[in-house]
Chain A
């Protein structure tokens, strides 16, 4: 038991440690960060150590399987990367900075719970825990009015979404008499004519997760939150926090899909709306963080398209894409953070002449952007290939065609950034970026993106080996 829940316990431990460390305000930001880094490394080790665990726990309400364990590894990695790159919290008052790391692990724990949640109770608790941590993180940047605005919007939308979800859960409970997914599936399996309560219940639950993915119609919070939150927080939101939503939503969709095919169409349409909205509105952004918020909305759209893909290929596709999605956003926001050292909230203009100010940053940005746009031979292309081909195999070729059109569209604003970074010359006032501490990390991640594109089998074959379909279907 201790061993099985190693990652969770690790996160919990880290959470407690930081809680006590940061009780008094005497601990410096730097120290807190190093502690966090060490602890997150520990969590990562724990997650890797526990990768082979499996089984149902706590009265079948908590499920360990290859899927959840791999996502936990991803999350742990994401946490560590955030601890490494997501620093310093310039725009957060010094007093609160150390609390950030506390919340950081609270969110991490919640995400891991979500990855394995097999009962709506666990789901609800974990989701609230995650949400509260994120609300607080976004709200930490007190100085700026917009930051407050975004956090209040965030919490309003979030609370609504979870309320809707909860209401849905109540209906599912009514229909199945249990909060357990197993029971849900059994009742789905059993009768061809489901209880009238089941369908609306599921729809409501799903929609509450669209909020976590920042997908239509619950996307509206993302741009504000990303733009106004302090950049490490934005990075956290864009990279790891997405994983939780993906992990759980896909688990649910994957279980329900076979019995309720109409869900495929619903999710597919929502996916198209999401990616189109994200890509088009991104055209008009000048604040880079806001632009990436929209871009990540679009990415969520692609992921949702993959979720309704063909049964056997979809899991690998979704997991692979979430992995590289994590990498790409880490790189992008790492660059944003580097730029932020000189003036907050970078705009397109502040990318001017990046190639001369810091060649590595420019190249990393270039790779990440083209990868986000899904251009060969980068990982993004291969991820998209997996998602789209899986969806096409599932019989949604028209959705796929539309999605491809979308990724061509998206190129337009990614090229804007490339243009800013590479064409033209450095503006007078721009300071040359000295060797940022995160260079190595960025370089490694960038190379990873390139390699995963050229030789994706290193990951895909591992994932195929994990045989998600079996572990996902109870």
Chain B
């Protein structure tokens, strides 16, 4: 009897949700405690899974399968391979740090954590579930709570942002739904089981060419692929800190993951056929995001557009489809995940302290809040792809792999290294250096507890920048397998 570790991982937040329902109103300490506990457990389980994964064997592991909808050949089938593992780990990290960051939420705490954990459940589910229908369901569970989380606890222009985000993402998942139905009925093996579909789906090239765009655009919207990215900066800005963390850190990866798994893996020929278009959109996003970010004065908008640029890199790697590029894309999902999580948690802290996100009102923070400032600077440098930080291996692999297939597009995308440095350093200088801004006297550095989240993330950025093999060894076999 092996431990059903994946189910346990999903159950952690799910149980948290159920427990929270029974916490009486006003007992906020208990609420926070439960949330923290389940996220810590989930994090431990994920790390355990990461260590227990048999690298030699690679492929799908920790498989569990129970009947769910026999009529439709849809089963509760969970498993992880290199990619799923990476993203589950990422989600666990962001969840933990997000919960810690969320301790500063001070009204409607119970509802907040219920929705938060619900969202996390959905994300975990979609990453490890190997059944298309079930995946879609988890996918929606992950998307929907955003509406309330942003709408209730959000800040700038929240109702507009929440509405736009929800509608766009659901429009995207509408496309996916159409693709889902077509896939189900086009395959001679009437099943939703991903592995069966992939291995014996037998989709004709013409069919793949029709369905792949549905998947790419449907999931791509969630991955903020240019030009369907507009919901994401608004969403980031409006969302409360921890939600931005989850949103930029994990949800957008969910989109990329969908493209990879249910687009490229299911419809390889379609992916090849549409590769140039996809790559162009992605490369456009890379440059576009980096350039537009230079115009932002709101920190969160700046990060939002940098995310557009970085997710563009992910999509570019996926579109290029060479093993190296895929490897880099997945790696970028992870590194960008922790990076933005760190960004947003730091910005959230500044916002609590100063009630401003306008970079022109900042100044000299580096000496007032050295810890958070250092964390933010680390994230920023990782964002501009500095070696030794998690961003570099990813970008390196993506460009190396992409150049083989799309040399010109790669050369168009590479200057984003400079553009990135341009806006990032501009922000670092305005916010942290130079003379101190007016409000700085009352600013004080972060406490140990909530600081731990930032420090953890920063440490991970450095760790995965120095020792990329921690992940790439898991991803590489997958990427090689994919090309077969």
Interfacial chain B residues near A422, Cβ < 8 Å: 148, 151-152
Interfacial chain B residues near A423, Cβ < 8 Å: 151-152, 159
A378 to B241 alpha-carbon distance, docked (Å): 28
Query: Which of A355, A400, A419, A460 makes the CB contact (< 8 A) with B159?
Result: A419
Nearest-CB distance from B359 to chain A (Å)?
29
Nearest-CB distance from A408 to chain B (Å)?
5
Is A400 in contact with B152, judged by CB distance below 8 angstroms?
A: no
Looking at A27-35, A98-106, A293-301, A388-396, the stretch in contact with chain B turns out to be A388-396
Interfacial chain B residues near A464, Cβ < 8 Å: 71
Interfacial chain B residues near A460, Cβ < 8 Å: 69, 71
Does B296 reach chain A (CB closer than 8 Å)?
no
Is A419 in contact with B151, judged by CB distance below 8 angstroms?
A: yes
Does A198 reach chain B (CB closer than 8 Å)?
no
Is A401 in contact with B178, judged by CB distance below 8 angstroms?
A: yes
Interfacial chain A residues near B133, Cβ < 8 Å: 385
Interfacial chain A residues near B177, Cβ < 8 Å: 388, 404
Is A418 in contact with B141, judged by CB distance below 8 angstroms?
A: no
Is B185 in contact with A370, judged by CB distance below 8 angstroms?
A: no
User: 1/0 per position for A447-466, CB-CB distance to B under 8 A?
Assistant: 00000000111001100100
Query: Which of B111, B140, B185 makes the CB contact (< 8 A) with A393?
Result: B185
Question: 8 Å CB contacts to A: which residues of B157-186?
Answer: 159, 163, 166-167, 170-171, 174, 177-178, 181-182, 184-185
Q: How many B residues are at the interface, by size bracket? A: 20 to 34
Does B19 reach chain A (CB closer than 8 Å)?
no
Interfacial chain A residues near B144, Cβ < 8 Å: 370, 375
Is B167 in contact with A412, judged by CB distance below 8 angstroms?
A: yes
Interfacial chain B residues near A418, Cβ < 8 Å: 147-148
Does A407 reach chain B (CB closer than 8 Å)?
yes
Q: What are 12 of the A-B contact pairs (CB < 8 Å)? A: A370-B144, A376-B137, A393-B185, A397-B178, A400-B181, A404-B177, A405-B174, A411-B166, A418-B148, A423-B151, A457-B69, A460-B69
Interfacial chain B residues near A461, Cβ < 8 Å: 70-71
A411 to B168 alpha-carbon distance, docked (Å): 11
Query: Which of A355, A375, A389 makes the CB contact (< 8 A) with B184?
Result: A389
Beyond A392-B185, A407-B174, A457-B69, list 16 extra A-B contacts (CB 8 Å).
A375-B140, A376-B139, A376-B141, A377-B140, A389-B181, A389-B184, A397-B182, A400-B178, A401-B178, A404-B177, A412-B163, A415-B163, A419-B159, A423-B152, A461-B71, A464-B71
A397 to B141 alpha-carbon distance, docked (Å): 25
Does B136 reach chain A (CB closer than 8 Å)?
yes
Is A408 in contact with B182, judged by CB distance below 8 angstroms?
A: no
A455 to B70 alpha-carbon distance, docked (Å): 11
Given A377-B137, A408-B171, A408-B174, CB of A397 within 8 Å of CB of B71:
no
Interfacial chain B residues near A376, Cβ < 8 Å: 136-137, 139-141
Interfacial chain A residues near B171, Cβ < 8 Å: 405, 408
Question: 8 Å CB contacts to A: which residues of B55-93?
Answer: 68-71
Query: Which of A388, A392, A411 makes the CB contact (< 8 A) with B167?
Result: A411
Does A381 reach chain B (CB closer than 8 Å)?
yes
A460 to B144 alpha-carbon distance, docked (Å): 26
Nearest-CB distance from B164 to chain A (Å)?
11
Chain B interfacial positions (CB closer than 8 Å to A): 68-71, 111, 133, 136-137, 139-141, 144, 147-148, 151-152, 159, 163, 166-167, 170-171, 174, 177-178, 181-182, 184-185
Question: 8 Å CB contacts to B: which residues of A398-425?
Answer: 400-401, 404-405, 407-408, 411-412, 415, 418-419, 422-423
A330 to B185 alpha-carbon distance, docked (Å): 34
A407 to B140 alpha-carbon distance, docked (Å): 14
A423, closest chain B residue (CB): B151
Nearest-CB distance from B252 to chain A (Å)?
20
A375 to B118 alpha-carbon distance, docked (Å): 15
A205 to B359 alpha-carbon distance, docked (Å): 69
A397 to B177 alpha-carbon distance, docked (Å): 12
A400 to B159 alpha-carbon distance, docked (Å): 30
A141 to B260 alpha-carbon distance, docked (Å): 59
Given A376-B140, A377-B140, A457-B70, CB of A397 within 8 Å of CB of B167:
no
A393 to B183 alpha-carbon distance, docked (Å): 11
A370 to B141 alpha-carbon distance, docked (Å): 11
Nearest-CB distance from B115 to chain A (Å)?
10
Interfacial chain B residues near A405, Cβ < 8 Å: 171, 174
A457, closest chain B residue (CB): B69
A455 to B177 alpha-carbon distance, docked (Å): 19
A423 to B136 alpha-carbon distance, docked (Å): 27
Interfacial chain B residues near A355, Cβ < 8 Å: 111
Interfacial chain B residues near A392, Cβ < 8 Å: 181-182, 185
Nearest-CB distance from B178 to chain A (Å)?
5
Query: Which of B136, B170, B178 makes the CB contact (< 8 A) with A411?
Result: B170
B147, closest chain A residue (CB): A415
Interfacial chain B residues near A404, Cβ < 8 Å: 174, 177-178
B163, closest chain A residue (CB): A415
Is B147 in contact with A397, judged by CB distance below 8 angstroms?
A: no
Most buried by A among B151, B152, B166, B181: B181
A395, closest chain B residue (CB): B185
A381 to B177 alpha-carbon distance, docked (Å): 11
A418 to B149 alpha-carbon distance, docked (Å): 12
A370 to B111 alpha-carbon distance, docked (Å): 17
Is B181 in contact with A397, judged by CB distance below 8 angstroms?
A: yes
Is B181 in contact with A388, judged by CB distance below 8 angstroms?
A: yes
A415 to B167 alpha-carbon distance, docked (Å): 9
A407 to B139 alpha-carbon distance, docked (Å): 17
Is B170 in contact with A408, judged by CB distance below 8 angstroms?
A: yes
A44 to B315 alpha-carbon distance, docked (Å): 57
B181, closest chain A residue (CB): A392
Nearest-CB distance from A368 to chain B (Å)?
14
A111 to B385 alpha-carbon distance, docked (Å): 69
Interfacial chain B residues near A407, Cβ < 8 Å: 174
Is A415 in contact with B166, judged by CB distance below 8 angstroms?
A: yes
Query: Which of A381, A412, A419, A457 makes the CB contact (< 8 A) with B137?
Result: A381
